[in-house]
Amino acid sequence: MTFRHSVVALALSAASIAAPSYAKEAVDLLINDATILTMNADKSVYQHGSLAIKGNKIVAVGDRSLAERYQAAQSLDVDGDIVMPGLINTHTHVSMTVFRSLADDVPDRLHRYIFPLEAKLVSRDMVRIGANLGNVEMVKGGVTTYADMYYFEDEVAKTVDKIGMRAVLGESVIQFPVADAKNADEGIAYAEKFIQQYRHHPRITPAFAPHAPYTNTTETLQKVAKLSEQYNVPVLTHLAESHREQEKIAERSGGKSPVQYMHDIGALNKHLVGAHMILVDDKDIELVKQSDMGVAHNMSANIKSAKGVSPALKMYDQGVRIGLGTDGPMSGNGLSIIDEFNQVAKVHKLVNHDRAAMPPVKVIDMATMGAARALHMEDKIGSLEVGKLADVIVIDTKAPNMVPMYNPYSALVYSANAGNVRHTIVDGKILMQDRQMLTVDEDAIRDEAIQFTDVVRKTVIDSGEEVL
Ligand SMILES: [Zn+2]
């Protein structure tokens, strides 16, 4: 170490003697000695590379020679660790962390268990407490941006603003009475107010979130589609997820698939992000591609609910905008995208009966650039390139499960877990350093969530349902 430092010092002094007028460019943060996975179009990888951040942007990324061109206010020497774009969770309901591990294997769970539970328990407090906890879990798992669908999204927005993450937050629209709206029209009105409040926030993109086609009327879905065009905001929804949805939409539309139906009513467009997309055929995939909509692929939630495996690999290969998601923490049950990698790679191999299907580089692409494309944010995030926003994570490669590392993509997909994330940077700001949260009080957030479990437990017991 001493020897290496002295060599660097010698080299620097030699350079300053040779070129005394040479001035180093000032940057805010410089990451050195990294295994950089840029996830750019060429999938460039730099060994012992450097990455420079100024303000909230990446100003340089490349080999070790870069380090000598910059004078940094702060440096992180990561000793060969993986530096990669922040992960993007394209579909969740973050506040549902407070319900995690409840009734995991109850049949017809959404309609028989979750909706009634939410009718009793969703409140501003519950949304805030759950979002705070989920945000910490995501930052500690390397997620820098997420797309959320829930109620009281203005409360979620406050937690995102505080912790410093990036998010697309969709206010729910659903046809039956919920905690923050008596009907779909009230849900739309709530969403419009929220959109007007947050549309110029630098890290938060407000959105509409009609729950699903079958839990809303055609008129509501069309109204949301029109308003999303007017406000130029995303529409997050569950689409082609279940047989129940398929049957209800077929009844309503004279036998159409959910995707065909959404297309025919004018709701399948570039603003839409459809979560799940399990029950889609080749004709549906063609419509999805033509519409330029995004897709959120939630493998662990889908296999746990036994609903099926989305043809996500086929969609990816055909150029559909598709990224990975976890679904809510009552479904997946985690919020970490790293913990999706393994299942995404292996289940697609299994269903295709092909060991070579879904190689690690595709999984990582879906978790970064693919997800950025799904949210139509690929010009800002998803890869480590000059001019992009500085959403960057560092993965510990010295943890026992990461040694040795012949292929960083394989190590990430088949060996890594959320606990291997060492530093998380969003918008140029370090939110977690050496696993310590810097912008929020992790202990206080966890304690508040634990206290809330008493409320949940009592409500569930009073309703006569099983707690576990
Ligand atoms: Zn969901």
DSSP string, 17-47: HH-TT--PEEEEEEEEEEEEE--STT--EEE
Mean pLDDT value of segment 24-50: 98
Summarised one tens digit per residue, pLDDT across range 344-374 is 999 999 999 999 999 999 999 999 999 999 9
- The pocket of ion ligand 1, defined by CB under 5 A, consists of 327
Taking the centre of ligand 1 as the mean of its atom positions, its distance from the CA of residue 57, in whole angstroms, is: 31
Residue 41 lies in a domain: no
Q: How far is the CA of 329 from the centre of ligand 1 (A)?
A: 9
Examine the pLDDT at 289 and tell me if it is beyond 70.
Answer: yes
Distance (angstroms) between ligand 1 centre and the Cα of 275 equals 7
DSSP string, 94-140: GGGGGGTTSSTT-TTHIIIIIHHHHHHH--HHHHHHHHHHHHHHHHH
Average pLDDT, stretch 422-432?
A: 98
Whether residue 421 has pLDDT greater than 60: yes
Report the alpha-carbon distance of residue 332 to residue 303 in Å, rounded. Answer: 9
What is the Å distance from ligand 1's center to 211 Cα? Answer: 8
Per-residue pLDDT, 111: 84
Query: Is 80 exceeded by the pLDDT of residue 6?
Result: no
Residue 93 CA, ligand 1 centroid: distance in Å: 6
pLDDT in tens, 229-284: 999 999 999 999 999 999 999 999 999 999 999 999 999 999 999 999 999 999 99
* Range 257-261, long-range pairs (CB < 8 A, 24+ positions): 257/281, 257/283, 257/284, 258/213, 258/214, 259/284, 259/287, 259/288, 260/284, 260/287, 261/213
Instruction: Look at residues 426, 325, 276 and name the one whose alpha carbon lies nearest to residue 90.
Output: 325
Cα(100) to centroid(ligand 1), Å: 14
Residue 287 placed within a domain: yes
Q: Is residue 460 part of a domain?
A: no
- Helix (H) / strand (E) element for 436: namely strand 436-437
Quote the number of domains for the chain: 1
Identify the pLDDT of residue 112.
82
307: CB partners within 8 A, 6+ apart: 241, 242, 276, 278
pLDDT of 1 > 80? The answer is no
Q: Measured in angstroms, how far is the CA atom of residue 91 from the centroid of ligand 1?
A: 6
User: How far is 112 from 211, CA to CA, in rounded Å?
Assistant: 16
Q: Is residue 7 part of a domain?
A: no
Burial of 61 (0-12, 13-18, 19+ CB in 10 A): buried
Ligand 1: centre distance to CA 82 (Å): 30
C-alpha 237 to ligand 1 mean position (Å): 8
* CA of residue 75 to ligand 1 center, whole Å: 39
pLDDT tens readout for residues 151-166? 999 999 999 999 999 9
How big is the CA angle at 410 (ends 139 and 381), to the nearest 5 degrees?
40
**Which residue would you say has higher pLDDT here, 108 or 70?**
70
Is the pLDDT reported for residue 32 higher than 50?
A: yes
Q: Distance (Å, rounded) from C-alpha 444 to C-alpha 426?
A: 22
pLDDT of residue 467: 55
Burial of 453 (0-12, 13-18, 19+ CB in 10 A): middle
Cα of 269 vs centre of ligand 1, distance in Å, is 20
Q: Give a yes or no: residue 144 inside a domain.
A: yes
Task: Give residue 292 CA to ligand 1 midpoint distance, Å.
Answer: 21
Compute the distance from residue 180 Cα to the ligand 1 centre, in Å. Answer: 18
How many Å lie between the centroid of ligand 1 and the Cα of residue 109? Answer: 13
Dist. CA 92 → ligand 1 center (Å): 6
Average pLDDT, the chain: 94
CATH number of the domain at 282, please.
3.20.20.140
Is the confidence at residue 108, as pLDDT, over 90? Answer: no
Which residues are paired to 274 by β-bridges? 237, 295
- What pLDDT digit, counting tens, does each position of 191-237 carry? 999 999 999 999 999 999 999 999 999 999 999 999 999 999 999 99
In the reported structure, the alpha carbon of residue 306 is separated from the centroid of ligand 1 by a whole-number distance in angstroms of 14
- Provide the CB-side half-sphere exposure for 30 (13 A, CA): 23
What's the pLDDT at 115? Answer: 87
The answer as to whether 385 is a domain residue is no
- CA 264 to centroid of ligand 1, rounded, Å: 23
pLDDT exceeds 70 at position 19:
no
pLDDT of 235 reads 98
Range of the domain at 260: 87-374
Ligand 1 centre to CA of 418 (Å) is 21
Q: Alpha-carbon distance 174 to 180, whole Å?
A: 11
404 domain-assigned: no
Confirm whether 347 is domain-assigned. yes
- Sign for the CA dihedral angle at 374, 375, 378, 382 comes to negative
